[in-house]
Amino acid sequence: MNERQAETAGEQAKAWAHVRSSLRESAGARVFDQWLKPIELVATDEADTVRLALPSAFMTNWVRSHYADRLALEFRQHLPHVRSVEVETRRPGAVAEVLTVESPVPAAIVTALPADVAVERPALDPRYTFDRFVVDQSNRVAFNAARTVAEPGPPRFSPLFLHAGTGQGKTHLMHAIAHAFLAANPNASVLCMSAERFMFDFVAAMRARDTFAFKARLRSADLLLIDDLQFIAGKDATQEEFFHTINEIVGAGKRLVIAADRAPQHLDGVEPRIVGRLGAGLVADIKAADLPLRRAILMRKVEDLPDANVPADVLDLLAARIHSSIRELEGALMRVVAYASLTGETLDLDFAVQTLGDSLRGAQRRVTIDEIQKLVSQHFDLKPLDLISARRARAVARPRQIAMYLSKRLTTRSLPEIGRKFGGRDHSTVIHAVRRIEALRDSDRDVDAAVRVLLRELEA
């Protein structure tokens, strides 16, 4: 290398050190480690050209598609005379002079990177850990299975197949597994992706005629987690590769966790051999959260909001009305808390109903006042006519107040409308009944237990 080449190499190596640092910050750890970290700066005789190399055509095509313009812009900020940045493939054994030790920049700054697949570090949600997962009978098996998979030592079973409806906790458990596994094995390679991402990356690798890097990346993982498996249904080539990936991971004694919205045998359009392979591991389902669990989840979520004062009746309202998805339930809580903070208004039952409006009505099962009156009268061994009568005996008045309270919580009827359904009473009587039951729920265990039972039955 002559003096001029050495000078060019030194300038480019110094600029490359700054560019790498900038990319690491802007792209994020996951993208940088997976795609940008393996890039090497290659020596060139042309001062206005920067040559970068990657170990596979698959990675080269991805970087060209997503970062070519960004790389050129970054280099020009440090070397204004640079006209082009070329990204090429340098396979192991190819003759190319990588600027490392020969560069005037210290080797600690510009380091030659291995040509094999970089250690995977998935982007995990820090909130999704085992200690933040609320456990009850509906999800206990899945929770215990997930913790077992994350334990050090040889896996007791693999694959683990989790299935549940949308927003019921599958993603939480998958991230919790990854968190716990990395805590016990800091140098492990962990890869977490959706089935859609698996399919996209595989198709891109086939088009680049370089499936080697794709296969090496997945099969080098110590823990592989794939979500939403139902999306590979009908994709024959993807299923072929997925089947071989399962065999490689499990056969090597590594951990595989797969999630879907239904059990393996109900995955329409998925090859029987894949279904059979998945069923050979442990299959665990997460059932829809019932009312007590939804209430407990909201209480746990409130613990993360130390400055938020969320009344018990608001939590009861959300738990009773929103039952399609835990994700939607938590989102509703965050919305009312945020709106109260932004508006400066008191977060009470009326504010929650006003804020969530259509969300509550859309999530609510259509419960009628007639249904409530019928169920309450059955629960307290009364006749439905007793609730609309003028009788004021405690044995009738208290159930009537509970029925009014439930009507206010579970229907969209106005206070005057509710009063008319209870023998023509006015709205002030309904307000008194609602407030009375709210107070008794905090002080009278029998009243609280009766309300909870009735809520559960009406919801079912």
For helices 236-251 and 195-207, the axis angle rounded to 10 degrees is 110
CA pair distance 32, 46, nearest whole angstrom: 27
pLDDT at position 160: 94
pLDDT at position 358: 65
pLDDT at position 282: 93
In terms of DSSP bridges, do strands 160-163 and 190-194 run parallel, antiparallel, or are they unpaired? Answer: unpaired
Please say if the pLDDT value at position 270 is more than 70: yes
CA pair distance 420, 400, nearest whole angstrom: 13
CA pair distance 316, 422, nearest whole angstrom: 24
Please say if the pLDDT value at position 119 is more than 50: yes
Average pLDDT of span 282-306: 88
Six-digit token string for 309: 């004062």
pLDDT at position 91: 55
pLDDT at position 58: 72
pLDDT at position 379: 92
Six-digit token string for 440: 């008794």
Spatial CA neighbour of 261 closest among 167, 160, 175:
167
In terms of DSSP bridges, do strands 223-227 and 190-194 run parallel, antiparallel, or are they unpaired? Answer: parallel
Please say if the pLDDT value at position 27 is more than 70: yes
Least confident among 80-94, 201-215, 386-400: 80-94
- Return the percentage of the chain with pLDDT > 90, whole number: 27
Please say if the pLDDT value at position 94 is more than 50: no
pLDDT confidence band for 363 (50 / 70 / 90): low
pLDDT at position 251: 85
One-character DSSP codes across 279-328? HTSEEEE-PPP-HHHHHHHHHHHHHT-TT----HHHHHHHHHH--S-HHH
